[in-house]
Amino acid sequence: MLEARALDVNFPVFQGVLKRQVGSISAVSNVSLSVRRGETLGLVGESGCGKSTFLKALAALVKRSQGEVRLDNQIIDPTVQSDLAAFRRSVQMVFQDPAESLNSRHSLHQILTEPYEIHGLYSPSERIERVQAILNSVGLGNTSLSKYPHEFSGGQRQRIGVARALTLEPDYLLCDEPVSALDVSVQAQLLNLLMELQEARQLGLLIVAHDLSVVRHISHRVGVMYLGELVELAPTLPLYTEPKHPYTEALLDAVPVPDPTRRNRPRTVLSGEIPSPQNPPAGCRFHTRCPHAWERCRVEKPALQMIATDHFAACHRNDT
Amino acid sequence: MIRLDPITRDRLTRFQGIRRGWWSALILMALIAFTLVAELFVNSRALIVHYDGEWYFPTYGAVIPGTTFGEEYAYETNYKLLQKRFADEGSGNWVLMPPVPFDPYEINSYAGEFPPHAPNFDRGHYLGTDIAGRDVTARLVYGFRIAIWFSIALLASTYVIGIILGCLMGYRGGWFDLIVQRLIEVWSNVPFLYIIMIVASIVTPDFGMLVFLMVIFGWMGMTWYMRTATYKEVSRDYVMAAKALGASDWRIITTHILPNTVSVIVTFIPFSVAGGITALTALDYLGFGLPPPTPSWGELLKQGTDRLDAAWIVTSVVTGLVLVLVMVTFVGEAIREAFDPRRLTRYE
């Protein structure tokens, strides 16, 4: 199990000639999540809500300010080299834009054998064998290893990104908007590929996305983030049918429904901008935009509570 | 055979397509290679001496005293006189001189004339002599050799410092970056010319000393550019991806960041070369450069501007200077054009 406990990420804000710290941006605040092997957890929220930052903090790519990450109940200390190396082999990442995340000066061979080089695994011929096998499993079987990223299409490139993440045979794959840079027609193929790979390798998938239908399609559980906080976490069906947090309701209502007879359905429409994470609102962070907010929400921060089986939400409305 | 990545290959093809720059680069390269063997073409030592059935190759190696060839003196053989003697004797001995049979230090005097001597093909002074009677061709060639290698040494040292420091600043950021930035700003304000004047008045700067001084006061430029380039690359996802795989900082810098910042480095090289040549020429012109009688374009330029009546001096050196600088600029322009990122961007 890959677990984040009370994870905080704060980015300092510097100003002036001497670059003194004048404040900090609370990008991720007190987020606890866990992914089991073979499970897909979707993480949604509007842009700037800290979902990507959370993912990167979990992958030890962004320094976390507080909280801990546990892998199979072992606390991972990113300052200990041996810990980190083992963690990297077990937890890998897939990035949003494959054109950006593949070094355009490296051939496929260099890109895919680099992980082995870094960790000093296998002989050169074994490496190539393994790379070929992995390329097969992502549907790029007959590809020449001497090609360069720009010779591939967007979807193929993302497959290469997935293949690279798989080279070290990780148990968990963290995907940062894995399909949002791709054509809609290719998105489904890649999602199906991820699901196939999960089946075959018992991967634990943590997928960050802003496309709710994508998340619904592949996730077993879904977490919703708002302004750096986890506001709701539930199995997919209950979350989509009976959301317990007004923000989740609003998000779901924003999804277009291809049904003209429901054109006039009642919808929760959010007004206003997302507040600055440098100066988050007191109490519930959502109260400035919440249609149901009352006095208590402005003062007291709601805790993430279990409302039904495996269904957690952080809203005072659920107390009454 | 080194395998080039497609971006580099693209750029090289494009560079070769810009004919002006490509030809300038070839000519400059040939000139630089030529300076390495300049002794074979411009020298007061003979190329081959055939004397009493023996072969001598005096160009490289120890001094051969005149007595070896039956002369009465024990100092270095004067091959031009020897050639004349052998020709007079008609004994089957002969001397083959280089195309320009003068070295840059040799003072040539001709009866009834005062230097500077005008160009004279019979004597072998194709571009005449300077005010001390030294051959202008020889001084131009050896002056170029010193200037170009001075530039190359300067460039190599400043780039090594600039790349290492700039990369570290961009990669580490934070306090290290801040402190080095301020240091550079302060250091950039030290008046370089005054320092050189002070140093030159205390000691006579030699080649190494001058390069050292110029590096000490000139390493900052490349550092800035590398810092910016590194900052730009570090924030890109492929660096993040390499980190996620567990790559070390060293690995990220050497295999990911440096190859992607190479365009910054390469684009600046021609301009640094031009800068180095002009800097040395200027210093020599002012008299703060390499001490006389070192052959130098700056010193020749000074003589030429002082003695405009001996127009061959100023004409030769200005032509040489302009040709070299124009060619370097052509190369720079072509590289900039070939490396222009706008032409490589693919929209999808």
What domains can be seen in chain B, in order of their start residue?
6-37+138-343 (1.10.3720.10)
Q: Determine the average pLDDT of the residues in B318-323.
A: 94
Judge whether residue B1 has pLDDT over 80: no
The reply to whether A131 falls in a domain is no
Note the pLDDT of residue A42: 93
The reply to whether A152 falls in a domain is no
Q: How many CB pairs under 8 A join A and B?
A: 68
Note the pLDDT of residue B230: 93
Contacts of B26 (CB under 8 A, 6+ apart): none
Higher pLDDT, B157 or A309: B157
* Distance of alpha carbon B29 from alpha carbon B283, whole angstroms: 25
Measured between CB atoms, does B122 come within 8 Å of chain A?
Answer: no
The angle at the Cα of B296, spanning B291 to B301, to the nearest 5 degrees, equals 110
Least confident of A230-239, B17-26, B103-112: B103-112
Contacts of B295 (CB under 8 A, 6+ apart): B104, B105, B138, B139, B140, B141, B142, B143, B146
**Domain holding A64: CATH number?**
3.40.50.300
* Distance of alpha carbon A194 from alpha carbon A178, whole angstroms: 10
Q: What confidence tens digit (pLDDT) does each residue in B214-268 have?
A: 899 889 989 999 999 999 999 888 999 999 998 889 999 999 999 888 888 988 9
Tokens of B65: 């005293």
The reply to whether A115 falls in a domain is no
Measured between CB atoms, does B72 come within 8 Å of chain A?
Answer: no
Q: Residue B348: pLDDT band by 50, 70, 90 thresholds?
A: very low
Interfacial A residues in 56-115 facing B (CB < 8 Å): 56, 59, 61, 84-85, 88-89, 92-93, 95-97, 99-107, 114-115
Note the pLDDT of residue B3: 67
Asked if A114 and B240 come within 8 Å (Cβ–Cβ), the reply is no
The reply to whether A16 falls in a domain is yes
Judge whether residue B141 has pLDDT over 90: yes
Note the pLDDT of residue B269: 92
φ, ψ of residue A24 to 5 degrees: the values are: -150, 150
Tokens of B196: 């050189």
Note the pLDDT of residue A262: 76
Judge whether residue B125 has pLDDT over 70: yes
Q: Determine the average pLDDT of the residues in A155-179.
A: 91
The reply to whether A76 falls in a domain is yes
Residue A59: closest C-alpha in chain B: B244
* Distance of alpha carbon B298 from alpha carbon B210, whole angstroms: 15
* Distance of alpha carbon A123 from alpha carbon A118, whole angstroms: 13
Total structural domains within chain A:
1
Q: What confidence tens digit (pLDDT) does each residue in A31-79 have?
A: 899 999 999 999 998 888 888 899 999 988 888 888 889 998 888 888 8
Residue A162: closest C-alpha in chain B: B241
Q: Determine the average pLDDT of the residues in A90-106.
A: 89
Q: Determine the average pLDDT of the residues in B61-69.
A: 86
The reply to whether A137 falls in a domain is no
Asked if A118 and B7 come within 8 Å (Cβ–Cβ), the reply is no
Task: Tell which residue, B161, B175, B155, B162, has the closest CA to residue B228.
Answer: B162
* Distance of alpha carbon B161 from alpha carbon B187, whole angstroms: 15
Judge whether residue A238 has pLDDT over 60: yes
**Considering only CB atoms, which chain A residues are within 8 Å of B256?**
103
Q: What confidence tens digit (pLDDT) does each residue in B30-50 have?
A: 999 999 999 899 988 888 888
Domain that holds residue A288: 2-103+171-319
The reply to whether A116 falls in a domain is no
Q: Which helix (H) or strand (E) holds B21?
A: helix B19-36
The reply to whether A125 falls in a domain is no
Tokens of A242: 């009976």
Interfacial B residues in 1-30 facing A (CB < 8 Å): 5-8
Considering chain A, what is the average pLDDT of its residues? Answer: 88
Asked if B241 and A85 come within 8 Å (Cβ–Cβ), the reply is no
Judge whether residue A30 has pLDDT over 80: yes
Judge whether residue B4 has pLDDT over 90: no
Measured between CB atoms, does B92 come within 8 Å of chain A?
Answer: no
Note the pLDDT of residue B338: 87
